[in-house]
Amino acid sequence: MRVSRRAAVAGILGALPAAALGMTEEYRIDPAVVADGIWMIHGDDAPILPANGGAIANIVIIDTPAGTVLVDSGPSLRYGRALKAVAEKLTGKPVIRVYVTHLHPDHGMGIAAFDPAIVAALPQTIADIARDGRGFSDAMYRILGDWMRGTEIVLPGRRIDQASEDFGGRKVQLMALSGHSAADLAILDEKTGTLIGGDLLFHDRAPSTPTADLARWRESLDALSKTPHKGAIPGHGPFDPSGTQAIMQTRRWIHWLESALTGAVQSGLDMVEAGAIAIPPEFSGMAAARYELQRSVSHLYPGLEAKLLPRVDVPDQ
């Protein structure tokens, strides 16, 4: 058999990762139906890594009579563009609204691909992105490199100050909550009863706490529990058809985290040791549990020390 030079070269190139060749890697976006007219794109249940291009957050597509509505937009311009193309092909309608659930870059930096006038977020989220966006952007470029190419910080152009929005008869309730961050948007699709929790909900994936207020987070979980709904879409992890499991798991993790770190400070553990404590078996199925525990030690330990360790300095003689 005669093998052309071109085919041989193509074969060699095919065996190498695209990045090694300076080629552009593309995101794989696979929406899965979770309710009538609602798709979830399941992010990688892992830390932000070059291998996943930062596509770790769940993204939601809603087909409404007025057009396509998105909840969160992924980590980068490239993701946002691919998402727009996939969503519009799926519904056959243009994207008319993009909600940003909270300030974190894995959820919001993809809005660079959209007209800011259709991007909506809670006022506090917009203020937080204005304050922290540059730092997030630096961190994302450092970790993800080429995946982030061309991604600029864009502020959502619409402030959410109403409790619901109607898209040609398909109405969503907009819940202004907090706890995972200073402003967390949760959304209820009235037609199907699907609850979109943003990062207030983690499911089979350990919650992250870089901007968390655990007491407020608990209050928000209570509010979500009291909101009648069917299935729940978490910010990270698989769809929860029961609608209760993700809420319960998130609540149990943050309760354990707070009591375990409190116990660690009271027992004289330093931060390295606190990051190495045993994780209870009930969380053994949670992805990224050790990773998030160690991040949470970094976020929460100094505050717990300041609260729990007594003052010991002797006043000047």
Partner 1 sequence: MWRQKVSLILIGTGLLAMPVPLPARAPYPADPLQSPMWQAHAKTIFGDDPVRFDPRVKMLYPEVAENQRSFPVALDARGVGQVKRMVIFADLNPIPIAIDYRPEAAEPYVATRIKLDQRTPVRGAVQLADGQWLVAGGWVDAAGGGCSAPPVSRVKGDWATHLGEMRGEAWPMSEDGSSRLRVTFRHPMDTGFVANIPTYNIEELAVKSAAGTVLGEMEIWASVSEDPAITLMPHAKAGDVLTVDARDTNGRAYLARIAVARQSAMPSATPQ
Q: What is the 8-class DSSP label of residue 310?
A: P
Q: How far apart are CA 241 and CA 297, in angstroms?
A: 31
Nearer Cβ to partner 1, position 23 or 309?
309
Nearer Cβ to partner 1, position 204 or 305?
305
> Minimum Å distance from CB 295 to partner 1?
5
> Minimum Å distance from CB 104 to partner 1?
14
Helix (H) or strand (E) holding 96: strand 95-99
Binding residues for partner 1, rule: CB under 8 A, are 47, 138-139, 142, 210, 260, 263-264, 266-278, 290-291, 294-295, 297-299, 302, 305-306, 309-314
The torsion angles phi and psi of 185, rounded to 5 degrees, stand at: -95, 125
Which residues, 6 or more positions from 70, have their beta carbon under 8 angstroms from its beta carbon?
Answer: 59, 60, 61, 62, 83, 87, 95, 97, 98, 99
Q: How far apart are CA 45 and CA 63, in angstroms?
A: 25
Q: How far apart are CA 210 and CA 203, in angstroms?
A: 18
> Minimum Å distance from CB 78 to partner 1?
22
> Minimum Å distance from CB 309 to partner 1?
4
> Minimum Å distance from CB 39 to partner 1?
32
Nearer Cβ to partner 1, position 149 or 290?
290
